[in-house]
Amino acid sequence: MSETAIIAAPGAETPGAARTGDMPVLDVDRLTIVARSPAGDTPLVEDLSFELRRGETLCIAGESGSGKSMTSLAIMGLLPQPAVRVAAGSIRFGGDDLTSLDERAMRRIRGDRIAMIFQEPMTSLNPVLSIGRQLIEAIETHTSETRTQSRARAIEALKAVRIPQAEQRMRQYPHELSGGMRQRVMIAMALALRPDILIADEPTTALDVTVQGEVLELLRDLQREFGTSIILITHDMGVVAEMADRVIVMRQGRIVEAGEAIPLFSAPREPYTRALLDAVPRMGDGMKGTAAARSVKPVKPILSVDGLTVRFDIKGGLLGRTTHRVHAVENVGFQIGNCETFSLVGESGCGKSTIAKALTGLVPFTGNVRLDGVPVSGLDREGRKRVRRDIQMIFQDPFASLDPRMRVGDLVGEPMVIHGIGSAQERRDRVAALFERVGLTADQLDRYPHEFSGGQRQRICIARALALRPKLIIADESVSALDVSVQARVLELLKELQNDFGIAYLFISHDMAVVENISDRVAVMYLGQIVEMGTRDQIFSDPRHPYTKRLIDAVPVPDPSRKRHRFPRMDSDIPSPVYPLGTGPVRNALVDMGEGHLVGAVS
Amino acid sequence: MSEPISPDLAAPVVSAPRYDSAWSRLLRRPLAILGLVIILATVLGAVFAPWLTAFEPDAQMFDGLTIEGAPLPPDGKFWLGTDLLGRDLLTRILYGARTSLVIGIAANGTALIIGTLIGVTAGFFRGFVGAVLMRFTDLMMAFPALLLAICLAAIFQPSLWIVAMVIALVNWVQTARVIFTQTSSLAEREFIDAERTLGAGSVRILFRHILPHLVPTIIVWGTLGISTTVLLEATLSYLGVGVQPPTPSWGNIIFENQTYFQAAPWLVFFPGMAILALALGFNLVGDALRDILDPTQRGRE
C-alpha cells in the first residue's frame, strides 16, 4: 500500500496526516516474552524488533510454536499473565510504551486505537447477543456517542464490510450467520472505531477458500479506504504473498528473515524461508508429478458408489413431526479403483464429510455402495464388522480422534484386538513395525497422545488405520490442521504407503492445492451433489463448471509479484440444503465431455 | 525438503522418565498422606474400639453426670467428656465410627455404582432407554429424599445395613445426573466416532473409552458423598428410622445431644469434628487420586 493512497484516502484522520512519512505507527524493540515454568523462564519470543508503518500490511509468518500469536497478544496487552509475560524490550505506540501501561490505560487503547480479529469468529462473538448489540456496545465503550449515533455508526460499519441488508442483520445472532459473514462482522467491529492498527491473527484460516478470497479482498479495500496499518499473522504463505507489503518470518520465537515481500519470495536468503516456501503445495505442481502416468483407467473398482443419498430430518411443530429435511448428500455416484487416490473437494457444508461418515457406517444412507463387489448395506453384525475392517478412516484432528487416556501403542493395536487378529505378542510386534513404518520409534509406544506433536499424532492415526491392512482409507481433511512442512511430509508418507500396500484413498479436502498434488481423480462437490468429476488434469487444466473455476481461482498463490485480479464477490451466502418435506434439490445430471470428464449442468 | 524444518519428527518430545505405580506417586504427596492417615486412624479406631477404651459404649455411668445431672466436660477420666446419659463420649465416637464408616463407604459406594450405571447407560444409548432412565431420575430428584427414606425405612426393619441401602437408594440421583451429562458429551467426541469406524462394539467403547474418562467425576462425587451420607444417616436416626439407639453413630450422637449444645458444646463439637475429618481425609485422597490417575497430566507437573 503506497503512502499517497493513504493521504488521498477520505477516511484517514487528519492528525494522522502529520505523522505519515517514515514515522512508524508501532515500534517493537527487542521484545522478549517468557513463559514461567518450574525449570525457570522459557522464552517464547526472543529479541523481536520490527516497525509498522502507517497504512502498510506487515505479515508475520511462521509455523505453530513460532511465537507469532504471542507477539500479537503482547501488543494488545492480552498475554495470559502471570504465566506468560514480557521480560524485556518495548512496544512503542504513539508516545506510550505498551508494555508498561496499566490495564486501564490499555483498555482505552484496545479496540479504539488497536483492534484485533481472531481466527474463529464464532468463539469471539458472544452467542447470546445480537450482532447489532455487540457492535453498538463496542462503539459505546470508547466514545461518548448516543445510542442512535452508535447505531448509525454500527450500520455504517456493517455496510463497509459489504454485508447486504445491514439494518436487518443487526438483529441477527452469530449462529444465524455463515462463517464468512461472522468474520466480516468481526472486521466491522474492529474497524468501526477507525483504529490505527488492525491485528488479524489467522483471520481466514477457519474459512472456506472462496470466502477467504473475499475476506482478504475486503481487508485490502478497507485498508485503502481507512489507511489502517495491518499486522497479519498467518501460517499460509499464499495469504502472505497476496497481502503483504513486508514480511517477517518467525521460527521458535526468533526472526528468521524480514524484508519486502517481493524480494523475500523471489530470493529468500535463509534456508528456513526457502524450505517453508518449498513446502507450500502449489497449484500446477501436480502436473509435473510422476503420479500422472498412473492416472489412466483404474484396473478394477475397489469401491463403487451409486445414488448415495443422506438426509437428516428436522423435526418441528407441536407434535415433533418431521417438517424439513437437510439434503446433505444427494444422489452421488463415483468409483475408486485399486491403488487410486480419489479426491472429493468442496467447501464446508457441501456434504463431503457426510459421505465419509456414510461409508464408515456413522450415518445411515440410501443408495448402493459396493466394496470389492460386495454391498455394504443390509449386512448383519458380522458382515458390518468385516466391512469396517476394509474401510479405515483418518480424521482431521488427530488429537480429537485419539482417546487421550490410552497409550498410543494400545490405540494402534486396538483395531487388531477388536477384530481378533493375532496373539498379544504378534500384535505388539506388528504395532512396533507399523510405528517404524510411519516414521515413529517403538520406544514411544507407552506414551500418551498429548506427548506428541501434531504431525506425529497424525502419523499415529495413520498407523492405526493401517493396522488392519484395509483396502480403502478415507482421509477426511487429514492434513488440514498441520503446518505446511509437516503436511508435505505426511502427504509423502501417504503416497509411499499407497505404493507399498496398494491402498486406495478417498481423500476429502477443501484445499485445492493439496488435492491437485495427491489425486489421480477428483470430484468437485457443491450442495450435496457432484458438479464436476474427472482426472486431475481434466479438472485442473480444463475446469468446465463455474464453481470449479471459482474454487481454483480462489486459491492464494505464494507469489507476490502475481497479485491477483479482483476476486469476484458473491453477495449472497451459499443456499441452504434444507428443504420442506416432499421437495428437494434439482438433481444435477452429469454430462460426459469426453474421456470420462463429467460436468454438471449449470443452473 | 531440507533438514532445518523438521519440527515433525525431530520435535523434542520430553524424554519419558519411567512412571512409577499410582501407589508410590500417591505417597509422594503430603496432603494425600495426611488424608490416608485420617482414614486409617478412623478405621483402626473403629476396629480396635474395645481395646482402646475402658468403657462400654452404652454403659450409663453414675459418675458420668454432675450432681445436677448435667454431662461432664472433658477431664482426666472421660477424655472427651460424657453425654446426656452419662456415657463416655470418646467410647461412643469410636464405636460410632463403625456405623459411620459402613454408611460412608457401603451406602455411598452403592449410590455411586447405581448412579454411574444409570447415568452411563442413559447418556450412551440415549433414545428410548435413555429417556426412560433419565425421567425416572428426574422423578426421584423431585421426590423429597427424606420422605422416601422414611417410607423405605418404615417398610424394612431398621438395621445398619437396611439404613445403608436406604441411603444408597436416595443418594444415587445426583451422581446419575452428572454422569449422564458427561457421558452424553463424551459420546459425541470424535475419538468415539473413530472407535466405531474401527468396528468397536458398544461394550468396548463404554468400558474402555468412556468409563476411564468418568473416573475423576466419580471420585469427586464419591468423596463429597461421604459427608452427605453420614449426615443423612444422622437425620434418619434423629427421625427414629435410622440406626436404632443405643447403637452409636456420629450422626445420632450429635442429634441426641443437640439440646445441650449451649451448656455442653463438646457433645456436638467432637462428633462433628470426626465427620469433618473423615470427609476431609477422603477428599484429600480423592483429589490426589484424580490427578494421579489422569494420564493426560503426565509430564505437565
Q: Taking residues A197-221, report their average pLDDT.
A: 83
Question: Residue A365 and residue A307: Cα distance in Å, rounded?
Answer: 10
Lowest model confidence (mean pLDDT) among A231-245, A459-473, B11-25, B263-277? B11-25
Helix axes B89-101, B266-292, angle to 10 degrees: 40
- The alpha carbons of chain A give a radius of gyration, in whole angstroms, of 26
DSSP bridge partners of A223: none
Report CA-CA distances (Å) from A193 to A10, A103, A135, A189, A595.
15, 20, 10, 8, 56
CB contact under 8 A, B193 and A401: yes
From its phi and psi, is residue A162 left (phi > 0), alpha (psi between -120 and 50) or beta? left
Q: How far is B176 from chain A (nearest CA, A)?
A: 22
For chain A, how far is it from start to end, CA to CA, in angstroms? Answer: 39
In this prediction the ipTM stands at 0.74
Q: Which of A188-197, A290-299, A446-455, A545-554 has the lowest mean pLDDT?
A: A290-299
Domains of chain B: 23-60+76-297 (1.10.3720.10)
Q: Which three cell numbers stand for residue A363?
A: 450415518
pLDDT of residue A565: 58
* Minimum mean pLDDT range among A73-77, B8-12, B33-37, B163-167: B8-12
Please name the member of A272, A451, A461 whose beta carbon is closest to the beta carbon of B14. A451
Between B79 and A98, whose confidence is greater?
A: A98
Q: In DSSP terms, which residues pair with B88 in a beta bridge?
A: B82
d(CA B56, CA A569): 91
Q: For residues B210-243, b (16+ Cβ closer than 10 Å) or e, as one string?
A: bbbbbebbbbebbbbbbbbbbbbbbbbbeeebbb
Chain A closest-CA separation from residue B44 CA (Å): 36
Q: Which of A271, A357, A439 sits opposite B2 (nearest CB)?
A: A271
Q: Is the dihedral of CA A185, A190, A193, A195 positive or negative?
A: negative
Q: Which residues in chain B touch residue A269, judged by CB atoms under 8 angstroms apart?
A: none
pLDDT tens by residue, B110-156: 999 999 999 999 999 888 889 999 999 999 888 887 888 788 777 88
pLDDT at A285: 57
pLDDT tens-place string over residues A319-338:
778 788 888 898 899 999 88
Regarding beta strands A96-97 and A114-117, do their DSSP bridges make them parallel or antiparallel, or are they unpaired? unpaired
Give the per-residue pLDDT at A563. 63
User: Chain A residues with CB inside 8 Å of B5's CB?
Assistant: 63, 251, 272, 275-276, 279, 485
Q: What is the mean pLDDT of chain B?
A: 82
Residue B19's pLDDT is 56
Report angle CA A483, A484, A486 to the nearest 5 degrees.
65
Question: Residue A420: is its pLDDT beyond 70?
Answer: yes
pLDDT-derived band at A603 (thresholds 50, 70, 90) equals: low
Judging contacts by C-beta atoms under 8 Å, the chain B residues touching residue A276 are: 5
- 8 Å CB contact of B13 and A276: no
Cβ neighbours of A338 (radius 10 Å): 16
Non-local (6+) Cβ contacts of B264 within 8 A are B70, B71, B73, B81, B84, B257
pLDDT at A291: 45
Report residue A381's pLDDT band, with 50, 70 and 90 as the boundaries. confident
Contact status of A63 with chain B (Cβ, < 8 Å): yes
How many whole angstroms separate alpha carbon A585 and alpha carbon A582? Answer: 10
CA-CA distance, A120 to A481, in Å (whole number)?
A: 14
Q: What are phi and psi of B154, to 5 degrees?
A: -75, -35
Tell me which range, A202-206, A549-553, B38-42, B164-168, is most confidently predicted by mean pLDDT.
B38-42
Q: What is the pLDDT of residues A346-377, one digit of tens each?
A: 887 788 888 998 998 888 899 999 988 888 87
Domains of chain A: 3-119+196-279 (3.40.50.300), 294-404+466-600 (3.40.50.300)
Give the pLDDT mean for A58-76.
Answer: 87
- How far CA B152 is from CA of A59, B169, B173, in Å, comes to 71, 9, 16
pLDDT of A473 above 60: yes
Chain B contact for A485 (CB, 8 A cutoff):
yes
Task: Cell numbers for A78, please give them.
Answer: 492480552
Residue A406 contacts B where some CB pair is shorter than 8 Å: yes
Q: Which residues of B touch A66 (CB under 8 A)?
A: none
With an 8 Å Cβ cutoff, are B196 and A360 in contact?
yes
For residue B49, the one-letter residue type is A
B209 or B76, higher pLDDT: B209
Confidence at residue A570, expressed as pLDDT on a 0 to 100 scale: 56
Q: How confident is the model at residue A551 (pLDDT cuts 50, 70, 90)?
A: confident
List the grid coordinates of A319: 407434535
Residue A393 is nearest to which of B1, B7, B197, comparing CB atoms? Answer: B197
Which has more pLDDT, B106 or B84?
Answer: B106
Model confidence band, residue A508 (pLDDT cutoffs 50, 70, 90)? very high
Neighboring chain A residues of B197 at a CB cutoff of 8 Å: 360-362, 388, 391-393
Instruction: Give the residue from A283, A221, A244, A344 showing the smallest Cα distance to A555.
Output: A283
- The per-residue pLDDT of chain A, averaged, comes to 83
> B106, B115, B107, B110: which is closest to B175 by C-alpha?
B115
| Global confidence as pTM | 0.79
Q: Which three cell numbers stand for residue A567?
A: 476476486
> Which amino acid, A143?
T
Q: Three cell numbers at B38?
A: 485420617
Residue for cell digits 476431609? B280
Please answer yes or no on whether B199 and A393 come within 8 Å at the CB atom.
no
Beta-carbon pairs below 8 A across chains A and B: 126
With 70 as the cut, is the pLDDT of residue B11 above it? no
Chain A: closest CA distance from residue B42 (Å) = 34
Give the pLDDT confidence score for residue B298 in this predicted structure.
Answer: 61
Question: Which member of B189, B193, B208 has the closest CB to residue A362?
Answer: B193
Show residues of chain A in contact with B198, CB under 8 Å: 388, 392, 414-415, 418, 464, 468
Nearest by CB to B5, from A361, A464, A485: name it. Answer: A485
- Pick A394 or B71 by higher pLDDT: A394
- Ramachandran angles phi, psi of A209, nearest 5°: -65, -35
Residue A301: strand, helix, or coil: strand
- The whole-number pLDDT of residue B299 equals 53
- The answer to whether the CB of A599 falls within 8 A of the CB of A543 is no
Nearest CA in chain B to A444: B16
pLDDT bin (cut points 50, 70, 90) of residue B14 is very low
Question: Residues A67-71: contacts with CB within 8 Å, 24+ apart?
Answer: A67/A33, A67/A250, A67/A252, A67/A253, A67/A254, A68/A233, A68/A250, A69/A201, A69/A233, A70/A33, A70/A44, A70/A45, A70/A253, A71/A28, A71/A31, A71/A33, A71/A45, A71/A233, A71/A250
Does residue A32 sit in helix, strand or coil?
strand
Query: What is the sign of the dihedral through the CA atoms of A289, A293, A297 and A299?
Result: negative
Q: How far is B127 from chain A (nearest CA, A)?
A: 15
What are the pLDDT digits (tens) for A424-436? 899 999 999 999 9
Q: Is A476 on the interface with B (CB under 8 A)?
A: no
Cβ distance A388 to B199 less than 8 Å, yes or no, reads yes
pLDDT attached to residue A174 = 86
* C-beta separation of A225 from A11 below 8 A: yes
C-alpha cell of residue A325: 429435511
Provide the chain A residues 263-322 that lie in CB contact (below 8 A) with chain B: 271-272, 274-276, 278-279
Number of H helices, E strands in chain A: 23, 23
A401 and chain B in contact, CB less than 8 A: yes
Higher pLDDT, A309 or A300: A309
| Residue position matching grid coordinates 505446511 | A484
pLDDT at residue A349 in the model? 77
Site from B15, B191, B192 to mutate, A interface, most A CB atoms within 10 angstroms: B191
Q: What is the pLDDT of residues A227-246, one digit of tens each?
A: 889 999 988 888 888 888 99
pLDDT (average), residues B30-39: 91
Whether residue B77 has pLDDT greater than 90: no
The 10s digit of each residue's pLDDT in A98-157 is: 888 888 888 888 888 899 888 777 778 888 889 899 989 888 888 888 888 899 989 988
Chain A residue numbers touching B195 (CB-CB < 8 A): 403, 414
